[in-house]
Structure formats: C-alpha cells, structure tokens
Structure 1
Amino acid sequence: MIKLKLHWQILIALLLAVIAGSLTGTTTELFGVRFYAMFDFIGTLFLNALKMLIVPLVVSSIIVGIAGIGSGSAFSKLGLKTLLYYVTTSLFAILVGLIIVNMVAPGIVDGEPAKNLIGLSENTSDVVAKVEGKGTGDLVGVFLRMVPTNVVAAAADGQMLGLIFFSLLFGFFMTKIEEDNAENMYTFWQSIFQVMMKITDWVMLFAPIGVFGLVAKVVASTGFAAFVPLAWFFLSVMAGLLVHFLVVLPLLLYFVGRVNPLNHFRAMAPALLTAFSTSSSAATLPLTMECVEKNAGVSNRTSSFVLPLGATVNMDGTALYECVAAMFIAQAYGVELGFVQQFTIVLMALVTSIGVAAIPSASLVAIAIILAAVGLPVEAIGLILAVDRILDMCRTSVNVFSDSCGAVIIARITGEKGVLGEPPLNQN
C-alpha cells in the first residue's frame, strides 16, 4: 500500500476543498445538514487542536532549550557568541519580512482590505478595538506584559509573552540548583517536550482534513477571489525568504566569517534538499552535522554545540513567516498597526521562534500566539494553511542554512583551521 507524504496529502486536500466548496456553496444540504456547516466544524476542530498545543509545547521547548544552554560550559564564550548570532540573524529575518510586507501590502486588494474576499467573519471594528487595547500608549505596556502576576492565569488567558519570559527564567535557573535535582527537572521537561512533539505529529496527521474544511469553507462563501490576496501573501513570504537566504546570510559569511558563500552552498546542498523535503530541521539535524563537519570542515566541538541548539532556538525563516502572516492578517482586516503593535509583532516573532519545535508546521502555533498578543483573531490562520506546507518547506531550508552559517562563522571567529578550505582568522 502506497502512503503519500503529508505535503502531497495536503495538496490533494486543497484541490478537493476547492472543488467541494465551489460545488456546494453555502446552502447545499445533505439529510438536512449544510455542507458549509460541516466544513466549518472540521476546520474549527483542527484549529482548536492547534490551540490546545500552545502552552505545553512552547513552555517545555523553551525550558529544555535554555536548560541545555545553561548546563556545563553554557555561557562560555562559545555559548554567548552562538546566542548573539542566532538573535541577530532572526532579527534581520523579521525586519526583512516586515519591510516587504509593508511594501507589498498583500492584505490590500484594489485599495481595499481583503477581509470580504477572504471570508473572515469578525467585524473590522471589533478587531480594531482589540488591537488598540493591546498596544495603546507607549512601549512600557509591552514589557509589563512580559512579567505576569500569575503564571497559571497568563497561560489560561493566552498571555504567552509573560509565559515565555517565565519559561526562559525557569530554564536558566534550573541549572543553578543541585545537580541531582536539576537532572530530574531536565528529564521531566524533556519528557513533556517529547510527548508534545508526538502529539503535534499526531495532530498534523489530520492537517489534510483540517485544510479541506478550512479552505472549502472559504471557497464556498467567497469563490476563488480569496486566492488573489493569498497569492500575494505567498509571494511576499517567498521574497523575504529569498532575500535572507541569498543576500543576508551570504553577506554574513563573507564579511564576518571571511569565507566564500558559494563554497558553503555547495557544502550544504544535501542537507538543504533534505530540509526542503522533510520540513523538519530536527529530522535534518544528523545530515546537517555531517555536511558541516565533513564538507565545510567545522570541528565536532563547534557543530555539536551550535547545530542542536540552532535546531531548537534559531528559526530565521519561521520568524520571518510569522511576522509576514500577522501583518497580512492585520491588513486583510483593514487594521492599521502603529509602531507599538509592529514592535510587539517583531518581539513576539523573535521570542516565539525560540519556542517553536523543530517539526513540520509547528509555526502555526506560534502565529496563534502572535495574533493573540496584538488582538487579531486566530481564525484567520485557516486561510494561510492553504499555502503553509509549501512555505514550510522553504522556511525550513532557510532555518537549516542559517544554523550551518552560524556553525561556520563561530568556527571561524574562534580560530578553527580548514573551515571551507580557508586559513584561520587572526585571533587577537
């Protein structure tokens, strides 16, 4: 029996959804039940399953990642340089995405918000009120929300910024207690993280069904007009990913690592193709390490620290995608986001990209967090699911390439010999 890969299943579901939605419309019934209502039920159920994963997945991922950094020689020079690289490249990626989405404005069609074309149900005035409530005044409110008065209440209310900050602190100070207790705590959170990854894998098995329901609902209510802004959204994300992949990261390799970017592209080709086909930086990690060590000449000491850490906390492509998606949805609702709201999106995209598990489509969870943080309705995720799989393959390749660039650059600035055939940099 032939088992189709998930991306083929989603593409087939997308095609079937277009056909079903166009044939049934909003009024066709079967045994007294409208097809439109069935599409809505299926899509809502899938979105609820994604929302269910948010708190345990993000908390366990961040705690495990930070605890892994903090143990042993965690905050040594190697660790600090690695973290600085990852934060810098993620920030560059987000800013590239922010610039492109503001220039292209994919959520605006013929000068009007694409809300009606896309079939988003919430009133624009309600969305505007929520967004204004999230960021009025100045930036102080953004930072105040980082420190919740009650962590459990923050989790229940979906205030993920505070929960993420608490998780960062918890993971760091977990390494400061007695070794036996720290090891037990790490095992506990690592087990939760592994369980959540399994559950996420299981939920994503139903992604084709969820995509079918969500897309069929949109097509049934709006026809094919919904795919015009969606195409512009797709092109905006692809443009941002290409700029980061072909311009930003090669410039860092050339000016900071002092190596030929073309040599590194050749060295990483097998890992990049694997990342593209699997949409998982975690699944690609063994091959990434092999390419970085054997083809690029980076030592195992550097690659074994930088790459596993990068597979957890360095998600340049994902961070860019989250930013563009949130801005696209805001534009589609006709919501003008000011500096505070855009700063919140940048900050949340940067922080949540750390907490996104290195598995296919986990960024959908992070997008839900960002939308909630700025007061935008989570239901709009349903539309971008139609192109999420293809973009997931592309952004995973960017994530993996950024990790490998980090390994090369860190190896170069720490004085390693023979990286991509180059002599070591002079060390002061």
Structure 2
Amino acid sequence: MSIDTRPALAPEAKREQLIMAGFYLVAIVLGVLNGFYGTAFTHSVGDFVSSVFIKLFKFISIPIIAVSIISTLASISKSSESGRIFRHTIFYTLLTTILAAVLAAGLYLLFSPANVALPDGATAPAAVAEKSYFAYVQSVIPDNFLAPFLSANVLSVLLIAAAVGLAIAKLPRESRSQEILTAFFTACQDVLFVLVKWLIKVLPVGIFGFISALCVELASGVSIGGLGTYFATVLTANFLQMLVVLPLVLLIRGLNPLRVARGMMPALLVAFFSKSSAGTLPVTMACSEERVGVRPAVARFVLPICTTINMNACAAFILITSVFLMQNAGAEITLGTLGVWVLIATIAAVGNAGVPMGCFFLTASLMASMNVPILLMGVILPVYAVIDMIETMLNVWSDSTVAAMVNKDLYGDEDEAKREAVSA
C-alpha cells in the first residue's frame, strides 16, 4: 500500500489559517487600543468579554480533559497487533514525555521567571494566594465520583479519568462492554471537539477581552519583564529535548540519532510549517518506513498511537505555563509543586489528542478550572504561533524516536543492514 507523502494542509485550510491569523491580529490591536485609550464603558466591555470566555473555558475544560484521557487509554487497547508492540510503545511514550516534563521543571527552577509586577498596593487574588498548593494535593483523592466534576477539581478528574480509561482497557476483549464503552466515550469526545471548534471560531473576541483587560492593568503600572524569561524557558525546554535528550535516548538504545534525524527530515519540515502532527502523519510514516527502515508493522501501529498520546512539547508547555500563571496569581511554587505538575503535565499531554490549538487551549482550560487568572495567555498567544511550530516538530521527532526504538527492541540488529541501506 502506497502512502501519500504530500503536505497535509489543503489550500482551503491554509486560507482559513490566514483568515484566523488576521482576526487574531485585529483582536490584539483593538484590545490594545481599548486598554490604553478606551473609556470606562469600553473597559467594562473588555472585562465582560474576558469573564465570559473564562466561563466558557471552565465549561468545556473538565469534560474534554476527562473524555479525552478515557477514550485515549481505552481505544489503544483495541488493536489486534502484538501486545509486545503496545507495551514497548507505551513505555517509550511515557518515558520521553516524563523526561520532557522533568526537564521543563528543572529549567523553571534554573531560569526562575519573575512575576508580572502588580501595580502599587495591589495584591494577588485571595483564592490563590491564601491557599497552599498542598491543599490541591490533599484533595486529589475524591470521596464522591461526581463531586470533582461539579467542583472542577482538575487533579481528581485527571485521576478518575486515568483510572476509568485503564479499567476499560482491562475489560475482556470478547466482552461487548469494552466496545460499547469505548465507542461511547469516543463519540462524546467527537461532540466535545465540535464545541471546541466553535469556541475557537469566536476566540478572537475573547482575545480582545484578554488583551484589553491586561492593557488596562499595564496602564496602571504593571511590568511584564518576566515574560521574556518565561518564553526563554519554554524554547530552551523544547530545544534541549529535541537536540539533547531524545538523541541521548536513541544512543542508549544503540541507534544513531543523526541517521534517524536525516531520515525523518522531510516529516520534520512538514511538521514545522503545518503545525499539525496529525496532518503530518502520512509523511512521518513514509519517512519512518522508507528512509529510517522501521518495519511497516511497527510504523503503522506505533506512529498513529504516538501522534495521539506522545506529546513531549505539550507536557513541557503545560508545566511551565501553568506554574508561571500560578506563581503570578500568588501560589507558592515549591519542589513539591513542580513534582506534582510533572505528573499532571504528563497525563494532560496524553489527553491533549485532537484538541484544536493543542497545548495553549488545554493550559488555559486547566488554569481557568483552578480559578487562576489567565489574562497573561492573551500576551502569550501572539508568540505561541512560533512556539507551536517548534512544538509540533518536537512532537513528530519524539514520535519518530519511539518508532525507531520499538523497532530496535522487537527486531534487534536484523534490520541494521536495511537501515544502513535506506539511509545511504
């Protein structure tokens, strides 16, 4: 079977992206003008819009996080392929994602981005500043199945979703229960993704509100100097994972990272410019099989799974951005806090599959659900377009390394001659 290696984005999709980029630009400009030069009435309009969108984020965040994690963990068990391929894939996926989150936590400690300074006399929101983060950790074990969903307790919802997804995966394959439950949660996921797409369509209106409200604060004396260090932390985490961590993992497994990278270069370039790891999948599979020498049985099983759950860049972005926003809201950031967020970011990255705007949207939803102010997300958005390109390339690169390592584990050195031939 031939694989289509053409770039994934159709002209219509490109035009739609350009139109949305134009809307974002207009929203940002209008938000800045309103924030600095608007009247009290227009400022109140901006506050109203930002409040509405925060409510919408809260409305969609908990169900989509829960359903995505459940359907992902439940669906990947349906394949009739060898259980060995599945186990090795999950092991390397979790390994690389956890390494990305740990690296992000270490870099956050190293860079220590400063807070966005509040105006004189202002204080952090009491709901965050007065509550130790360990209170969230203590509340992670629910005593009621529905209570975490009603109270938007993100930690408990993540735990419940992971447990339910794994429980469905463990149901006997001959039983129809697994098939029915998996189909149900997958259908729920599809419906929620439609709602997310609708929200994304009107997101420029929300960006106007966020930018407007933030500029009002800037006019009152807020300094955003810490954002430069924040962006440096995110980019450094991506490049170190891409250029150091993943190559070292390949070397440990006895694979030449330069050979794998050279073979995957067409897919990495498509990923960078398309900003869609799912859309790049046909190119990724073709490069993996034809240029790296991964067996089709491995590539066609591993890569679709990795495209869904192997989100190295997303784990790093979620951790760094969430901790930065919480720090600005007055929460105490300790080693324990970062340790907990390594786990949260890893699980959340797994549940990020298929969500438009990926890490950015999921992070905003997580923070809104925890009542952490997300106005700074409006400032992050214009730069996120570049970050998203790098993150997509990193995700495809991590997918490729997992496929190469699984192939190495299953077939050992018997494919070495083939890899040498196709990479020559």
Residue 238 of structure 1 deviates from its aligned partner by: 0.7
**Offset at residue 17 of structure 1 (A):** 4.8
How far apart are 1:323 and its partner, in Å?
0.9
Comparing 278-287 and 349-358, the one that deviates more: 278-287
Amino acid at match of 1:243: L
Q: Which residue of 2 aligns with 1:319?
A: 315
Provide the residue aligned with 1:78 in structure 2: 85
Residue identity matched to 1:242: F
What is the match of residue 94 of structure 1? 101
Whether the 8 Å contact between 1:60 and 1:189 is mirrored in structure 2 is yes
Q: 1:36 to 1:301 in 2, by over 3 A?
A: same
Cα deviations by residue, 1:31-87 (Å, 9 ceiling, x for unpaired)? xx7222222233333333332222222222222221223335688332222211111
Deviation at 1:373?
8.3
Distance 1:174 1:267, change over 3 A: same
How far apart in 1 are the matches of 2:295 and 2:353? 26
1:28 equivalent to 2:20? Answer no
Partner of residue 244 from structure 1, selected from 235, 241, 251: 241
Q: 1:227 to 1:13 in 2, by over 3 A?
A: farther
Q: Is the contact made by 2:57 and 2:365 (CA closer than 8 Å) also made in structure 1?
A: no
Q: Equivalent residues in 2 for 1:250-269 (5 A)?
A: 250-256=247-253, 258-269=254-265
Which of 47, 54, 73 is matched with 1:47 structurally?
Answer: 54
Q: TM-score, normalised by structure 2?
A: 0.84
Q: Which amino acid aligns with 1:237?
A: V
The amino acid of 1:20's aligned partner reads L
Letter of the 2:276 counterpart:
S
Is the 1:6–1:205 contact (alpha carbons within 8 Å) kept by the matching residues of 2?
A: no
Contact map agreement 1:312 1:357 (CA 8 A) in 2: yes
> Cα–Cα, structure 1 residues 171 and 28, in superposed 2: closer, same or farther, change >3 Å?
closer
Aligned pairs (5 A) from 1:23-422: 23-25=33-35, 28-29=38-39, 34-71=41-78, 76-106=83-113, 108=114, 113-116=115-118, 123=124, 126-130=127-131, 132=132, 134-135=133-134, 142=137, 145-175=139-169, 176-177=171-172, 178-223=174-219, 227-256=224-253, 258-333=254-329, 335-368=331-364, 370-371=366-367, 376-415=372-411, 417-418=414-415, 421-422=418-419
Work out whether residues 57 and 369 of structure 2, in 8 Å CA contact, stay in contact via their aligned partners in 1: no
Letter in 2 for 1:116: L
Work out the CA distance in 1 between the residues paired with 2:416 and 2:54.
45
Q: CA deviation at 1:367?
A: 2.1
**3-state secondary structure, aligned to 1:116:** coil
Structure 2: state its 5+ residue gaps. 1-10
Tell me by how many angstroms 1:207 deviates. 2.8
Seen in structure 2, the aligned counterparts of structure 1 residues 327 and 165 have a Cα distance that, compared at 3 Å, is: closer
Equivalent AA in structure 1 for residue 66 of structure 2: V
Percent of aligned positions that are identical = 26
Q: Distance in 2 between matches of 1:302 and 1:2?
A: 33
Q: 1:150 to 1:239 in 2, by over 3 A?
A: same
Cα distance between partner residues in 1 of 2:151 and 2:366: 14
Shift of 1:146: 4.3
Shift of 1:251: 1.2
Give the conservation status (yes or no) of the 8 Å contact 2:214–2:375: no
* Aligned AA (2:38): T
TM-score by length of 1: 0.83
Using the alignment, how far apart are the partners of 1:122 and 1:361 within structure 2?
32
- Structure 1 Cα separation of the partners of residues 416 and 190 of structure 2: 34
Q: State the SS of the aligned residue for 1:149.
A: coil
CA deviation vs aligned residue, 1:292-311 (integer Å, no higher than 9, x gap): 12221111221222212212
Give the distance between the partners of 2:293 and 2:209, measured in 1 at CA. Answer: 48
Shift of 1:22: 4.5
CA distance in 2, matches of 1:99, 1:229: 17
Q: CA RMSD in A?
A: 3.2
Q: Find the aligned partners of 1:75 and 1:379 in 2 and give their Cα distance.
A: 47
CA distance in structure 2 between the partners assigned to 1:283 and 1:145 by the alignment: 39
Note if contact 1:312-1:358 (Cα within 8 Å) is conserved in structure 2.
yes
Change (3 A) 1:21 1:188: closer
Q: Which 10-residue stretch deviates more, 190-199 or 19-28?
A: 19-28
The number of equivalent residue pairs is 406
Q: Which amino acid aligns with 1:168?
A: A
Give how far 1:158 is off. Answer: 1.2
Give 2:322's aligned amino acid. A
Distance 2:52 2:232 in 1: 29
CA gap 1:358/1:115 in 2 versus in 1, 3 angstroms: farther
Once the two structures are superposed, residues 278-336 of structure 1 have per-residue CA deviations (whole angstroms, 9 ceiling, x without a partner) of 33322222222222122211112212222122122211100000111122223434543
